[in-house]
Chains A and B, each alone.
Chain A
Amino acid sequence: MDTSTKETIIDRYLAAVSDSLPVRHRKDTVTEIRSLIQDALDDRSKAEGKEPDEEMMAAVLKEFGSPEKIVAPYLPEKYLIGPQLFPTFMLVLRIALPIIVVLSLIGYWIGANISLPINGVDLLADVLKSLGNALTTVVAAFGNIVLIFAILQWAIPEFRVPTQAKEWDPRSLKPISKPDKIKRAELIAEIFFILVALILFNFYLERIGIYNNLNGQWSFTPILTDTFIRYIPLLDLLWVLTIMLDIILLRTGTWQVGTRIFAIFNNALNIGISATLISRIPYLYTLQGALGQWGGEGILRSLLNQILILVFAITIISSGVKIIQMSLHLIRARFLTVVDLTKGHK
């Protein structure tokens, strides 16, 4: 038998098995599998009354199954993100990725140097570039989120193996939370004010300014600058989305997973826009020539700037709080279903 000198398919099989085994058990397990294969081969050789040849080896190996199959039971179950963390992982993705897309797009368009008049080719190039940017950011964010969850999976032992149901008392069950009722009047008021803003900023932009009555003569000075006007499409987007959400809420009557995610998205957009505007307050409006004989422009400007900073800051903080509240609701809802599923069988 020349099996000892020439590389046989058994050697190849064992090499493949060895590669897939954890180093710690490799030598021992491979030796054992080799001896088992040899036993099977000897037996077959005796039964068939001939020396083992490649065909016989192949038949024996076929009985053992592929290297992956034979190795699988020796390996502990390995997860990058295990079944216990996976639902939360998906939830985080669903919340974070849209927010990241929006922030990345906003970031791009703020940074972009768009010269007027807008040229179609340049605009298309910018649109494609901003989408490309958003895609890269999303991929990177996805990678980071996976990394964070993989570390959690690795670092927290409870996530490694399916937890055995601990001593559990049915009386510890939380009461079913009442479906979160929406506040109808608030929504209707919001829609009304947004509509006013939409109409004002889109159709009567040139009429926004300061009206002065000087010696019986009315004069008008616009106060919004081009810098501000550039942000109107973004504001329109936010307002339209908010109205859409409000209408959905009015129809469904309660907060649900989809509407919460929608609201998180809107609030993120709101934060993005407000953060951008807050950094450009002095350029958003002008009082040049608006005050006529009243003068005192400097004082009024600094007062207005302070007020605007406050307004935007409050918007950012309240949107942030809303995002946290919505996320907590979602996570809690998800956590409850997970608990239900894992413990329901016991």
Chain B
Amino acid sequence: MENIQSLDNLILEMRRGVIVLAVLSQCEQEQYGYLLMKSLSEKGLSIDQGTLYPLLRRLETQGLLNSSWRLEDARPRRYYVISTQGRDILPRLVNEWNSMVAMMRSMLDK
């Protein structure tokens, strides 16, 4: 039992590292929180709502995302989109990711 739990924790920790990249890559178009969560989940990355929403705010504070309120069906929704700075950083992150994947592959394919 304990092993399964620590395995879950290890996997969770690994995923945590890729969330920022995943979110930034999905915010090329304007997205609101719930929709983003759905689309990430459809693509296979299910993120806890309690993790995703604060992350969006954090990325906004860091200047990687911009946000704006919009009223839709009498409901205010906060839309997030990648900022100029985010656009600048995203390809570099992608490069880093690719090299990490290549490195890990070579390390594990022995």
Contacts and interface: CB of A to CB of B under 8 A. Distances in A.
Interface of A: 29, 31-33, 35-36, 38-40, 43, 63-65, 69-70, 72-74
Nearest to B53: A36
A36 B50 contact: no
Contacts of B97: none
B70 to A, nearest CB: 10
Contacts of A70: 49-50, 53-54
Given A73-B58, A74-B57, A39 B50 contact: no
Interface of B: 32-35, 38, 48-51, 53-55, 57-58, 75-78
B31 to A, nearest CB: 12
Nearest to A66: B50
Contacts of B53: 32-33, 36, 70
B34 A65 contact: no
Contacts of A64: 49-50
Contacts of A39: 32-35, 77
B76 A31 contact: yes
B80 to A, nearest CB: 10
A36 B49 contact: yes
A325 to B, nearest CB: 47
A39 B37 CA distance: 11
B30 to A, nearest CB: 15
Interface of A is mostly: helix
B24 to A, nearest CB: 17
Given A31-B78, A40-B34, 17 more contacts: A29-B57, A32-B53, A32-B78, A35-B75, A35-B76, A35-B77, A36-B34, A39-B33, A43-B38, A63-B48, A64-B50, A65-B49, A65-B50, A70-B50, A70-B53, A72-B54, A73-B50
Interface of B is mostly: helix
Nearest to A69: B50
A33 B32 CA distance: 11
B108 to A, nearest CB: 25
A43 B35 CA distance: 10
| In the complex, the 8 A-B pairs of residues with the closest C-beta atoms, listed nearest first | A73-B54, A39-B34, A65-B50, A36-B33, A70-B50, A32-B78, A64-B49, A35-B77
- Of A32, A43, A65, A69, the most chain B CB neighbours within 10 A belong to A32
B48 A65 contact: yes
B86 to A, nearest CB: 19
A40 B54 contact: no
Nearest to B38: A43
B34 A43 contact: yes
A38 B50 contact: no
Contacts of A29: 57
Contacts of B34: 36, 39-40, 43
Contacts of B50: 64-65, 69-70, 73
A43 B42 CA distance: 14
Given A73-B58, A74-B54, A38 B75 contact: yes
25 contacts: A31-B76, A31-B78, A32-B78, A33-B53, A35-B32, A35-B33, A35-B75, A35-B78, A36-B53, A38-B75, A39-B32, A40-B49, A43-B34, A43-B38, A64-B49, A64-B50, A65-B49, A69-B50, A70-B50, A70-B53, A72-B54, A73-B50, A73-B51, A73-B58, A74-B57
A161 to B, nearest CB: 14
A265 B52 CA distance: 53
A29 B58 CA distance: 12
B36 to A, nearest CB: 10
Nearest to A38: B75
Contacts of B49: 36, 40, 63-65, 70
